Amino acid sequence: MSDTVVRADLDGAAGTAAVVGGPADEERMRRWRLVLGGDDDGTGCKLSGLDLEMDKALAALYNKGGYETGAGGSVTGRSRAKGGGRQEQRSAGLGASSPQVARWLGDIRAYFPQTVVQVMQRDAIDRLNLRQLLLEPEMMESVEPDVHLVGTLLSLNHLMPAETKETARQVVRKLVEDLEKRLGAKLRATVSGALDKSTRTSRPRHSDIDWGRTIQVNLKNYLPEYQTVVPERLVGYARKERAVKRDVVLAIDQSGSMAASVVYASVFGAVLASLKSLKTSLVVFDTAVVDLTPQLTDPVDVLFGTQLGGGTDINRAIAYSQSLITRPTESIFILISDLYEGGVRREMLRRVAEMTAAGTQVIVLLALSDEGAPYYDRENAAALAAMGVPAFACTPDKFGDLMAAAIQRQDLGRFLEE
Protein backbone atom coordinates (compact mmCIF):
# COMPACT_ATOMS: atom_id res chain seq x y z
CA MET A 1 0.00 0.00 0.00
CA SER A 2 2.91 2.39 0.60
CA ASP A 3 3.59 2.89 -3.11
CA THR A 4 -0.03 3.97 -3.65
CA VAL A 5 0.17 6.33 -0.71
CA VAL A 6 3.47 7.82 -1.87
CA ARG A 7 2.27 8.34 -5.41
CA ALA A 8 -1.03 9.82 -4.19
CA ASP A 9 0.93 12.32 -2.08
CA LEU A 10 2.57 13.63 -5.23
CA ASP A 11 -0.49 15.57 -6.31
CA GLY A 12 1.01 18.81 -7.57
CA ALA A 13 4.45 18.00 -6.12
CA ALA A 14 6.23 19.10 -9.30
CA GLY A 15 4.94 22.60 -8.81
CA THR A 16 2.41 22.83 -11.67
CA ALA A 17 -0.55 24.91 -10.56
CA ALA A 18 -4.10 23.73 -11.15
CA VAL A 19 -6.37 25.80 -13.40
CA VAL A 20 -8.90 27.87 -11.45
CA GLY A 21 -12.27 26.14 -11.52
CA GLY A 22 -10.76 22.65 -11.87
CA PRO A 23 -7.61 21.13 -13.38
CA ALA A 24 -7.35 21.10 -17.17
CA ASP A 25 -7.42 17.69 -18.86
CA GLU A 26 -3.68 17.73 -19.45
CA GLU A 27 -2.92 18.55 -15.84
CA ARG A 28 -5.37 15.90 -14.63
CA MET A 29 -3.74 13.27 -16.85
CA ARG A 30 -0.29 14.31 -15.62
CA ARG A 31 -1.35 13.74 -12.03
CA TRP A 32 -2.93 10.39 -12.84
CA ARG A 33 0.25 9.40 -14.68
CA LEU A 34 2.34 10.15 -11.56
CA VAL A 35 -0.10 8.26 -9.35
CA LEU A 36 -0.36 5.16 -11.55
CA GLY A 37 3.25 4.84 -12.69
CA GLY A 38 4.44 2.62 -15.55
CA ASP A 39 4.55 3.40 -19.27
CA ASP A 40 1.34 1.61 -20.29
CA ASP A 41 -1.02 3.33 -17.86
CA GLY A 42 -3.78 4.38 -20.25
CA THR A 43 -3.41 8.12 -19.63
CA GLY A 44 -1.52 8.84 -22.86
CA CYS A 45 0.54 11.35 -20.90
CA LYS A 46 4.28 11.57 -21.48
CA LEU A 47 6.35 12.94 -18.64
CA SER A 48 9.36 15.18 -18.98
CA GLY A 49 11.70 17.25 -16.84
CA LEU A 50 11.24 17.00 -13.08
CA ASP A 51 8.11 14.87 -13.46
CA LEU A 52 10.09 12.26 -15.37
CA GLU A 53 12.87 12.21 -12.77
CA MET A 54 10.31 11.80 -9.98
CA ASP A 55 8.67 8.93 -11.85
CA LYS A 56 12.02 7.20 -12.39
CA ALA A 57 12.83 7.43 -8.69
CA LEU A 58 9.45 5.91 -7.85
CA ALA A 59 9.79 3.21 -10.50
CA ALA A 60 13.19 2.18 -9.16
CA LEU A 61 11.53 1.21 -5.89
CA TYR A 62 7.92 0.31 -6.68
CA ASN A 63 7.95 -0.80 -10.34
CA LYS A 64 11.17 -2.85 -10.17
CA GLY A 65 12.95 -0.28 -12.30
CA GLY A 66 16.72 -0.05 -12.06
CA TYR A 67 18.96 2.95 -11.55
CA GLU A 68 22.03 3.66 -13.57
CA THR A 69 24.30 6.61 -14.17
CA GLY A 70 23.40 8.57 -17.29
CA ALA A 71 25.25 11.28 -19.19
CA GLY A 72 26.95 13.76 -16.94
CA GLY A 73 26.75 11.37 -14.01
CA SER A 74 23.01 11.84 -13.44
CA VAL A 75 20.99 8.91 -12.19
CA THR A 76 18.33 7.69 -14.61
CA GLY A 77 15.77 4.91 -14.81
CA ARG A 78 16.48 2.13 -17.31
CA SER A 79 14.27 -0.09 -19.46
CA ARG A 80 14.61 -2.43 -22.40
CA ALA A 81 12.64 -2.83 -25.62
CA LYS A 82 10.30 -5.76 -26.07
CA GLY A 83 8.14 -6.63 -29.09
CA GLY A 84 7.07 -3.67 -31.20
CA GLY A 85 9.11 -1.13 -29.32
CA ARG A 86 7.12 -1.46 -26.10
CA GLN A 87 9.20 -0.70 -23.04
CA GLU A 88 9.29 -3.10 -20.08
CA GLN A 89 10.79 -2.29 -16.71
CA ARG A 90 13.89 -4.28 -15.80
CA SER A 91 13.61 -6.41 -12.69
CA ALA A 92 17.02 -5.52 -11.32
CA GLY A 93 15.68 -2.84 -8.97
CA LEU A 94 18.11 -0.72 -7.01
CA GLY A 95 20.09 -3.82 -6.20
CA ALA A 96 22.68 -3.98 -3.47
CA SER A 97 25.04 -1.41 -4.89
CA SER A 98 25.86 1.23 -2.30
CA PRO A 99 26.69 3.98 -4.86
CA GLN A 100 23.42 3.39 -6.73
CA VAL A 101 21.34 3.47 -3.57
CA ALA A 102 23.18 6.51 -2.21
CA ARG A 103 22.45 8.39 -5.46
CA TRP A 104 18.81 7.32 -5.31
CA LEU A 105 18.52 8.53 -1.70
CA GLY A 106 19.95 11.87 -2.77
CA ASP A 107 17.49 12.09 -5.66
CA ILE A 108 14.36 11.43 -3.61
CA ARG A 109 15.42 14.08 -1.09
CA ALA A 110 15.66 16.55 -3.97
CA TYR A 111 12.34 15.61 -5.59
CA PHE A 112 9.93 14.89 -2.74
CA PRO A 113 8.80 16.46 0.56
CA GLN A 114 10.31 15.11 3.76
CA THR A 115 7.28 13.04 4.76
CA VAL A 116 7.29 11.21 1.41
CA VAL A 117 11.07 10.68 1.61
CA GLN A 118 10.69 8.99 4.98
CA VAL A 119 8.04 6.59 3.66
CA MET A 120 10.15 5.72 0.60
CA GLN A 121 13.24 5.10 2.73
CA ARG A 122 11.27 2.78 4.97
CA ASP A 123 9.89 0.89 1.98
CA ALA A 124 13.38 0.60 0.44
CA ILE A 125 14.72 -0.95 3.63
CA ASP A 126 11.84 -3.46 3.72
CA ARG A 127 11.57 -4.25 0.00
CA LEU A 128 15.24 -4.27 -0.95
CA ASN A 129 16.76 -5.53 2.31
CA LEU A 130 19.08 -2.55 2.57
CA ARG A 131 19.93 -3.04 6.24
CA GLN A 132 23.43 -4.19 5.39
CA LEU A 133 24.03 -1.04 3.32
CA LEU A 134 23.08 1.09 6.31
CA LEU A 135 26.35 -0.06 7.88
CA GLU A 136 28.30 2.04 5.35
CA PRO A 137 29.16 5.69 6.17
CA GLU A 138 28.29 7.01 2.68
CA MET A 139 24.79 5.62 3.07
CA MET A 140 24.36 7.29 6.44
CA GLU A 141 25.18 10.66 4.91
CA SER A 142 22.38 10.26 2.33
CA VAL A 143 19.42 9.35 4.51
CA GLU A 144 16.69 11.55 5.97
CA PRO A 145 16.39 10.81 9.71
CA ASP A 146 13.02 9.62 11.03
CA VAL A 147 11.87 7.51 13.95
CA HIS A 148 11.65 4.28 11.95
CA LEU A 149 15.07 4.69 10.35
CA VAL A 150 16.64 5.39 13.74
CA GLY A 151 14.95 2.26 15.09
CA THR A 152 16.55 0.25 12.28
CA LEU A 153 19.96 1.79 12.98
CA LEU A 154 19.70 0.97 16.67
CA SER A 155 18.84 -2.64 15.86
CA LEU A 156 22.06 -2.78 13.78
CA ASN A 157 24.17 -1.04 16.41
CA HIS A 158 26.12 -4.13 17.43
CA LEU A 159 26.98 -4.84 13.78
CA MET A 160 28.28 -1.39 12.86
CA PRO A 161 31.96 -0.96 12.14
CA ALA A 162 33.67 1.84 14.06
CA GLU A 163 33.84 4.18 11.07
CA THR A 164 30.05 3.97 10.63
CA LYS A 165 29.01 4.45 14.25
CA GLU A 166 29.99 8.11 14.43
CA THR A 167 28.04 8.89 11.25
CA ALA A 168 25.08 6.95 12.64
CA ARG A 169 25.25 8.97 15.86
CA GLN A 170 25.04 12.16 13.80
CA VAL A 171 21.91 10.84 12.07
CA VAL A 172 20.35 9.91 15.41
CA ARG A 173 21.32 13.24 16.96
CA LYS A 174 19.65 15.14 14.13
CA LEU A 175 16.38 13.33 14.80
CA VAL A 176 16.71 13.77 18.58
CA GLU A 177 17.24 17.51 18.20
CA ASP A 178 14.18 17.74 15.97
CA LEU A 179 12.03 15.82 18.48
CA GLU A 180 13.29 17.94 21.36
CA LYS A 181 12.45 21.09 19.43
CA ARG A 182 8.96 19.91 18.41
CA LEU A 183 7.90 18.00 21.52
CA GLY A 184 10.39 18.65 24.30
CA ALA A 185 9.52 22.30 24.96
CA LYS A 186 5.82 21.49 25.25
CA LEU A 187 6.50 18.57 27.59
CA ARG A 188 8.76 20.69 29.78
CA ALA A 189 6.25 23.54 30.03
CA THR A 190 3.25 21.26 30.63
CA VAL A 191 4.93 19.22 33.35
CA SER A 192 6.41 22.30 35.06
CA GLY A 193 2.97 23.91 35.15
CA ALA A 194 1.43 20.76 36.60
CA LEU A 195 4.09 20.59 39.31
CA ASP A 196 3.38 24.20 40.29
CA LYS A 197 -0.38 23.67 40.34
CA SER A 198 0.02 20.56 42.46
CA THR A 199 1.47 22.75 45.21
CA ARG A 200 -1.19 25.52 45.03
CA THR A 201 -2.21 26.85 48.43
CA SER A 202 -4.91 29.19 49.79
CA ARG A 203 -2.50 30.65 52.33
CA PRO A 204 0.52 31.70 50.28
CA ARG A 205 3.27 33.94 51.47
CA HIS A 206 3.21 37.43 49.95
CA SER A 207 6.00 36.66 47.48
CA ASP A 208 4.21 33.48 46.35
CA ILE A 209 0.78 35.02 45.59
CA ASP A 210 -0.55 34.36 42.09
CA TRP A 211 -2.01 37.84 41.57
CA GLY A 212 -3.72 37.07 38.28
CA ARG A 213 -5.58 34.10 39.70
CA THR A 214 -6.29 35.95 42.97
CA ILE A 215 -7.91 38.89 41.14
CA GLN A 216 -9.94 36.51 38.98
CA VAL A 217 -11.50 34.63 41.89
CA ASN A 218 -12.22 37.89 43.79
CA LEU A 219 -13.82 39.94 41.01
CA LYS A 220 -17.17 39.66 42.82
CA ASN A 221 -15.58 41.78 45.56
CA TYR A 222 -14.80 44.72 43.27
CA LEU A 223 -15.53 48.12 44.89
CA PRO A 224 -16.24 50.69 42.15
CA GLU A 225 -15.94 53.67 44.45
CA TYR A 226 -12.38 52.66 45.30
CA GLN A 227 -11.64 51.03 41.93
CA THR A 228 -10.15 48.07 43.67
CA VAL A 229 -10.75 44.40 44.39
CA VAL A 230 -10.91 43.21 47.98
CA PRO A 231 -8.83 39.97 48.02
CA GLU A 232 -11.07 37.95 50.30
CA ARG A 233 -9.33 34.78 49.12
CA LEU A 234 -5.65 34.58 48.24
CA VAL A 235 -4.43 32.11 45.64
CA GLY A 236 -0.81 31.21 45.20
CA TYR A 237 1.78 28.51 45.30
CA ALA A 238 3.54 26.95 48.21
CA ARG A 239 7.04 28.28 48.67
CA LYS A 240 9.17 26.78 45.99
CA GLU A 241 11.72 24.41 47.34
CA ARG A 242 14.58 22.59 45.75
CA ALA A 243 13.17 19.32 47.03
CA VAL A 244 12.03 16.80 44.43
CA LYS A 245 8.23 16.76 44.16
CA ARG A 246 7.76 13.55 42.17
CA ASP A 247 9.79 10.46 41.36
CA VAL A 248 9.29 9.09 37.85
CA VAL A 249 10.46 5.66 36.70
CA LEU A 250 10.25 4.80 33.00
CA ALA A 251 10.61 1.13 32.10
CA ILE A 252 10.88 0.62 28.35
CA ASP A 253 10.39 -2.67 26.53
CA GLN A 254 13.15 -2.83 23.91
CA SER A 255 11.78 -5.73 21.89
CA GLY A 256 11.91 -5.11 18.15
CA SER A 257 8.23 -4.21 17.81
CA MET A 258 8.67 -1.31 20.26
CA ALA A 259 11.36 0.56 18.27
CA ALA A 260 9.43 3.80 17.76
CA SER A 261 8.33 3.82 21.40
CA VAL A 262 11.95 3.40 22.53
CA VAL A 263 13.02 6.44 20.50
CA TYR A 264 10.27 8.73 21.82
CA ALA A 265 10.53 7.48 25.40
CA SER A 266 14.29 8.04 25.47
CA VAL A 267 13.90 11.65 24.34
CA PHE A 268 11.07 12.29 26.79
CA GLY A 269 13.04 10.66 29.59
CA ALA A 270 15.92 13.08 28.98
CA VAL A 271 13.53 16.05 29.00
CA LEU A 272 11.96 14.95 32.30
CA ALA A 273 15.41 14.39 33.80
CA SER A 274 16.23 18.04 33.06
CA LEU A 275 13.48 19.18 35.47
CA LYS A 276 14.87 19.60 38.98
CA SER A 277 11.47 19.03 40.57
CA LEU A 278 11.47 15.48 39.22
CA LYS A 279 13.72 12.57 39.96
CA THR A 280 13.66 10.56 36.74
CA SER A 281 14.98 7.04 36.25
CA LEU A 282 14.99 5.15 32.97
CA VAL A 283 15.49 1.43 32.48
CA VAL A 284 15.25 -0.63 29.32
CA PHE A 285 14.64 -4.35 29.25
CA ASP A 286 14.29 -7.49 27.20
CA THR A 287 15.18 -10.65 29.10
CA ALA A 288 17.67 -8.52 31.08
CA VAL A 289 17.34 -5.06 32.62
CA VAL A 290 19.72 -2.17 31.93
CA ASP A 291 19.57 1.05 33.98
CA LEU A 292 20.35 3.97 31.64
CA THR A 293 19.62 6.71 34.15
CA PRO A 294 23.26 7.94 34.17
CA GLN A 295 23.01 8.56 30.39
CA LEU A 296 19.88 10.73 30.63
CA THR A 297 21.89 13.90 30.13
CA ASP A 298 22.18 12.88 26.48
CA PRO A 299 19.30 10.99 24.82
CA VAL A 300 21.62 9.87 22.02
CA ASP A 301 23.67 7.96 24.60
CA VAL A 302 20.44 6.47 25.93
CA LEU A 303 19.41 5.29 22.47
CA PHE A 304 22.76 3.72 21.74
CA GLY A 305 22.54 2.02 25.11
CA THR A 306 19.47 0.11 23.95
CA GLN A 307 19.55 -3.25 22.20
CA LEU A 308 16.42 -3.65 20.09
CA GLY A 309 15.19 -7.21 19.62
CA GLY A 310 15.21 -10.33 21.77
CA GLY A 311 12.77 -11.67 24.34
CA THR A 312 10.81 -9.93 27.08
CA ASP A 313 10.78 -10.37 30.85
CA ILE A 314 8.42 -7.70 32.17
CA ASN A 315 8.33 -9.18 35.64
CA ARG A 316 12.09 -8.73 36.03
CA ALA A 317 11.86 -5.13 34.82
CA ILE A 318 9.11 -4.33 37.31
CA ALA A 319 11.07 -5.98 40.13
CA TYR A 320 14.07 -3.76 39.38
CA SER A 321 11.87 -0.67 39.06
CA GLN A 322 10.37 -1.40 42.49
CA SER A 323 13.85 -1.15 43.96
CA LEU A 324 14.14 2.41 42.61
CA ILE A 325 10.93 3.60 44.29
CA THR A 326 11.59 4.91 47.78
CA ARG A 327 8.57 7.27 48.08
CA PRO A 328 5.62 5.27 46.75
CA THR A 329 2.96 7.94 47.28
CA GLU A 330 5.05 10.51 45.40
CA SER A 331 6.07 8.17 42.58
CA ILE A 332 4.84 7.55 39.03
CA PHE A 333 5.81 4.28 37.35
CA ILE A 334 5.33 4.16 33.58
CA LEU A 335 5.71 0.80 31.86
CA ILE A 336 6.01 1.09 28.08
CA SER A 337 5.37 -2.38 26.68
CA ASP A 338 3.07 -4.41 24.44
CA LEU A 339 2.67 -6.74 27.48
CA TYR A 340 3.77 -9.91 25.72
CA GLU A 341 5.36 -11.43 28.79
CA GLY A 342 8.10 -14.01 28.46
CA GLY A 343 8.68 -14.14 32.21
CA VAL A 344 6.37 -15.12 35.04
CA ARG A 345 2.98 -13.55 34.37
CA ARG A 346 1.55 -14.18 37.83
CA GLU A 347 4.52 -12.51 39.49
CA MET A 348 4.29 -9.56 37.10
CA LEU A 349 0.67 -8.91 38.07
CA ARG A 350 1.42 -9.42 41.76
CA ARG A 351 4.19 -6.80 41.67
CA VAL A 352 1.92 -4.28 39.95
CA ALA A 353 -0.70 -4.89 42.63
CA GLU A 354 1.92 -4.29 45.32
CA MET A 355 2.98 -1.00 43.74
CA THR A 356 -0.56 0.35 43.48
CA ALA A 357 -1.39 -0.78 47.01
CA ALA A 358 1.61 1.18 48.27
CA GLY A 359 0.30 4.34 46.59
CA THR A 360 2.43 4.41 43.44
CA GLN A 361 0.69 5.60 40.29
CA VAL A 362 1.17 2.87 37.69
CA ILE A 363 0.56 3.63 33.99
CA VAL A 364 1.02 1.18 31.13
CA LEU A 365 1.59 2.57 27.64
CA LEU A 366 1.06 -0.11 25.02
CA ALA A 367 2.83 2.14 22.53
CA LEU A 368 4.29 5.66 22.52
CA SER A 369 4.14 6.43 18.82
CA ASP A 370 2.00 7.69 15.94
CA GLU A 371 1.60 4.25 14.42
CA GLY A 372 -2.06 3.74 15.31
CA ALA A 373 -3.58 0.83 17.23
CA PRO A 374 -0.75 -1.39 18.52
CA TYR A 375 -0.56 -5.17 18.85
CA TYR A 376 -0.59 -6.11 22.50
CA ASP A 377 -1.46 -8.90 24.90
CA ARG A 378 -5.14 -8.27 25.55
CA GLU A 379 -5.34 -10.76 28.42
CA ASN A 380 -2.63 -8.98 30.39
CA ALA A 381 -4.10 -5.58 29.57
CA ALA A 382 -7.49 -6.72 30.86
CA ALA A 383 -5.92 -8.10 34.04
CA LEU A 384 -4.23 -4.76 34.68
CA ALA A 385 -7.43 -2.84 33.99
CA ALA A 386 -9.21 -5.00 36.56
CA MET A 387 -6.66 -3.75 39.12
CA GLY A 388 -7.37 -0.13 38.17
CA VAL A 389 -4.18 0.27 36.12
CA PRO A 390 -4.88 2.03 32.80
CA ALA A 391 -3.28 0.47 29.71
CA PHE A 392 -3.53 2.38 26.45
CA ALA A 393 -1.51 3.69 23.52
CA CYS A 394 -0.34 7.29 23.63
CA THR A 395 0.78 9.53 20.77
CA PRO A 396 3.91 11.60 21.46
CA ASP A 397 2.03 14.91 21.36
CA LYS A 398 -0.24 13.73 24.22
CA PHE A 399 2.52 12.51 26.52
CA GLY A 400 2.92 15.90 28.22
CA ASP A 401 -0.80 16.06 29.01
CA LEU A 402 -0.63 12.53 30.38
CA MET A 403 2.29 13.39 32.67
CA ALA A 404 0.51 16.55 33.86
CA ALA A 405 -2.63 14.59 34.68
CA ALA A 406 -0.62 11.96 36.56
CA ILE A 407 1.26 14.59 38.57
CA GLN A 408 -2.02 16.21 39.60
CA ARG A 409 -3.50 12.78 40.35
CA GLN A 410 -6.35 13.24 37.90
CA ASP A 411 -8.46 10.44 36.50
CA LEU A 412 -6.63 9.09 33.43
CA GLY A 413 -9.77 7.53 31.99
CA ARG A 414 -10.07 10.23 29.34
CA PHE A 415 -6.86 9.01 27.72
CA LEU A 416 -8.50 5.65 27.18
CA GLU A 417 -11.16 7.34 25.05
CA GLU A 418 -8.86 9.52 22.92
Q: What pLDDT is recorded for position 203? A: 59
Find the range with the poorest average confidence among 78-87, 94-103, 223-232, 339-348.
78-87
**Res. 398 pLDDT band, cuts 50 70 90:** very high
Q: Which residue has the higher pLDDT, 26 or 370?
A: 370
Q: Which residue has the higher pLDDT, 22 or 165?
A: 165
Q: What pLDDT is recorded for position 97? A: 52
**Res. 41 pLDDT band, cuts 50 70 90:** low
What is 246-417's CATH number?
3.40.50.410
Q: What pLDDT is recorded for position 202? A: 56
Which distant-in-sequence residues (6+ apart) come within 8 Å of 26 by Cβ? 45
| CA distance between the termini of the chain | 26
pLDDT average, residue stretch 25-51 = 72
Q: Which residue has the higher pLDDT, 163 or 314?
A: 314
- pLDDT tens digits, one per residue of 183-215: 988 898 888 888 776 655 555 666 667 777 778
| pLDDT of 154 over the 90 cut | no
CA distance 304 to 326: 28
| pLDDT of 290 over the 70 cut | yes
DSSP assignment of 21-38, as one string?
TS--HHHHHHHHHHHH-S
| pLDDT of 80 over the 50 cut | no
- pLDDT tens digits, one per residue of 133-153: 677 777 777 788 888 888 888
pLDDT average, residue stretch 283-292 = 94
Q: Which residue has the higher pLDDT, 106 or 347?
A: 347
Find the range with the poorest average confidence among 5-9, 285-289, 372-376.
5-9
| pLDDT of 245 over the 90 cut | no
The chain-wide mean pLDDT, for the chain, equals: 78
| pLDDT of 275 over the 60 cut | yes
CA distance 218 to 170: 54
**CA 98: distance to chain centroid?**
28
CA-wise closest residue to 69 among 61, 133, 60: 60
What is the share, in percent, of the chain residues with pLDDT greater than 70? 76
| pLDDT of 88 over the 80 cut | no
Find the range with the poorest average confidence among 33-37, 202-206, 392-396.
202-206
pLDDT average, residue stretch 18-31 = 60
Q: Which residue has the higher pLDDT, 82 or 373?
A: 373
- pLDDT tens digits, one per residue of 11-24: 444 444 333 444 56
pLDDT average, residue stretch 241-269 = 88
| pLDDT of 68 over the 50 cut | no
Which distant-in-sequence residues (6+ apart) come within 8 Å of 307 by Cβ? 157, 158, 254, 284, 286, 290
Q: Which residue has the higher pLDDT, 177 or 24?
A: 177
| pLDDT of 357 over the 90 cut | yes
Find the range with the poorest average confidence among 76-80, 186-190, 319-323, 385-389.
76-80
Q: What pLDDT is recorded for position 39? A: 59
Q: What pLDDT is recorded for position 20? A: 40
| pLDDT of 93 over the 60 cut | no
* Amino acid occupying residue 277: S
Q: What pLDDT is recorded for position 66? A: 47
- pTM attached to this predicted model: 0.69
CA-wise closest residue to 153 among 140, 162, 163, 138: 140
pLDDT average, residue stretch 330-352 = 95
Residue ranges of the domains in the chain? 2-144, 200-237, 246-417
What is the share, in percent, of the chain residues with pLDDT greater than 90? 34
CA distance 165 to 153: 10
Q: What pLDDT is recorded for position 17? A: 37
Q: Are 17 and 137 in contact (CB under 8 A)?
A: no
| pLDDT of 109 over the 70 cut | yes
Q: What pLDDT is recorded for position 199? A: 56
